[in-house]
Amino acid sequence: MNRSILDIRGEVLVVSQFTLYGDCRKGNRPSFSDAAPPVQADGLYQCFTQRLRDADLKVATGCFQAHMELSLVNDGPVTFVLET
C-alpha cells in the first residue's frame, strides 16, 4: 500500500461511466444535469487516458458512451469504499 501504480509498473483499466456523476441528494431519482456534455466529457476521458499513457503505464479502455458489462476480481489486501 506504500507504492504507487508507477512503482509497481501496474496496468490501468479506464471505463467512462457518466452515472458516477449522478446527484442523489433530492429524492430517489438521480439528476445528471451537472454532468459534462458528451463532447466535453469524451475530451476529458481521452485526456486522462493519454496522461496515463504518457507516464508509461499500460492502459486499457472501454468505449465511450457504449453499453458495457464488466467483471472484476479484486485481488488485494483491502478495498476502500469512498463516500462523500
- Mind spelling out the 3-state secondary structure of 19-78? HHHCECCCCCCCECCCCCCHHHHHHHHHHHHHHHHHCCCEEEECCCCCCCCCCCCCCCCC
Which pLDDT value is given to residue 22?
75
The domains of the chain, with CATH numbers, are 1-84 (3.50.80.10)
Q: What is the pLDDT of residues 1-55, one digit of tens each?
A: 789 999 988 899 888 875 567 788 887 788 888 878 889 989 999 999 999 999 9
Annotated active-site positions, please?
A: 19
Q: How far is residue 16's CA from residue 64's CA, in Å, rounded to a whole number?
A: 6
